[in-house]
Structure 1
Amino acid sequence: MKISVNGEAISPEVIQREVQNYRQKNLGANEKEAFDAVSSQMVDWTLIRQVATEKGPEVSAEEIEAGFERLCRSHGGREQFFQRFGLSEDRVDEVKLDVERNCRITKFLDELSKDVSAPAEDTVVAYYKEHKSEFVHPEKVHSMHIVKHPQDEASEQAAAAELTNIRQRLLAGEDFMTVANETSECNDTSPDLGEFARGQMVPEFELVVFSMQVGEISPVFKTQFGLHIATVTEKTAAAPMSLADCRARIEEILQHDLKNDAIGRWVDAEKERAEIEVSAE
């Protein structure tokens, strides 16, 4: 396998690794399809990097430091970043050099697409109509719970028995919040969990509460946090979002596409002037 852009060769090992990654992410893609996709992307980004390095905007020391700090934070902090990538602190200058290079590329791409205008109103409306099913206010529930945190099998059995008795009190009509404040091991958090959509709680909890009716008292059930009894005080059905609700998101999507189109046109023109060699052999 060979990819060369303006005399800069990409190692066959890197190409092969990216081809394998592509096939893992795109099941069913054969070797040729994977190589074609990978080589196209590698050529594009090598061209962008080459020109950005030669002609791109300067990057200040403050921008490099800020970019380095963001990079570390995204991996849990400076120490975790160096550990995760097997790097020692004496290689910090290498890391900052990569940060500078990436900052320069980002600023260069911003320059290429800075004159892209906002999407037209009819384009926004058409996108909304075509993708209406993607813009939905999710189903939500308002839930309260009582929780016990057993530490071993024996205490779990005792907690389950206690919660079963508590459930009988609730079924007999006692106020859930009053009983929860009296019996729940919520520590410093309220038994009232508020309103939430799917994906905000652990799956075992969501499976129970999203299947319940308003006012229903759940059986005792288990999650990674302990044993629970839950109730639902309010349910809000999923509902389509209005254009006003999702306009900003649609404009962001369309603006991103327009910028990518502008960058793509620049890359296509640059390819005409570049010396590019690509071979799957």
Structure 2
Amino acid sequence: MAGGDAERQKLCREAAEQIRSEKLLEQIGKAVGEPKEKDIRRYYQRNIERFSVPEMVRAAHIVKHPDPQVPSEQQKQQMDELLGRIENGEDFAVLADEHSACPGNGGDLGYFSRGQMVPSFEQVVFDLPSGQTSGVFSTEFGWHIAKVLDRKPAMPCPLEQVRQVIVNELTQQARDKALERFLDAERQKAVVEER
């Protein structure tokens, strides 16, 4: 029974300590208050890249996957012929549906940002102006011809759209600083009391 009482007392002390800690954090939170408008705007401006939608490209492609039965040079030659047909005015989407290893939707991949496709594909596509068709190029997936259908530049989200995120971050930073100051003061008191 005595061991059970000691354990119960220990649990009660821990629970009381937890309650004191929570009350202290609540008091610190109230003391900190809401960040000022100028601080919100300054934080937004200093971190604008975090609150931006990245550049997006909408592209279509024709791809020939590697085929062990067909030499790579022959596959490239087939893609060069398709490129010639595109350059002579044939419709890219029709040729993509007829000749691509990934037919459908005219080869349209939809919108994507950097980091969503393999780097060798992105390098070509993000360097192309809207409406332009690439030359034949290779990636780990085979031979490609790409066409940029549209692009959207990187754009910052409006402040009002990210305001609550900023308020939360600034409030948390202020609470952390206030708690650190409180703990430093308590440590100083403990050092003085020890002497």
Q: CA shift at 1:150, angstroms?
A: 0.3
2:179 — aligned with what?
263
Using the size of structure 1 for normalisation, the TM-score is: 0.52
Among candidates 28, 45, 63, match of residue 147 of structure 1: 63
Change (3 A) 1:175 1:187: closer
Q: Does 1:174 align with 2:87?
A: no
Q: Does 1:164 align with 2:74?
A: no
Change (3 A) 1:177 1:111: farther
Q: Report the number of matched residues.
A: 173
- Contact in 1 for aligned 2:44/2:166 (Cα 8 Å): yes
Among candidates 165, 188, 192, match of residue 249 of structure 1: 165
Change (3 A) 1:148 1:256: farther
Using the size of structure 2 for normalisation, the TM-score is: 0.71
SS in 2 for 1:146: strand
Q: CA shift at 1:132, angstroms?
A: 4.0
Mapped partners of 2:104, 2:26: distance in 1? 49
Structure 2 unaligned blocks of 5 or more: 1-13
Q: CA shift at 1:203, angstroms?
A: 1.3
Mapped partners of 2:146, 2:105: distance in 1? 15
> What letter is aligned with 1:213?
P
- Contact in 2 for aligned 1:112/1:262 (Cα 8 Å): no
Larger radius of gyration: 2
- Contact in 2 for aligned 1:147/1:184 (Cα 8 Å): yes
Q: CA shift at 1:148, angstroms?
A: 1.5
CA root-mean-square deviation: 3.2
Structure 1 unaligned blocks of 5 or more: 1-51, 58-107, 276-281
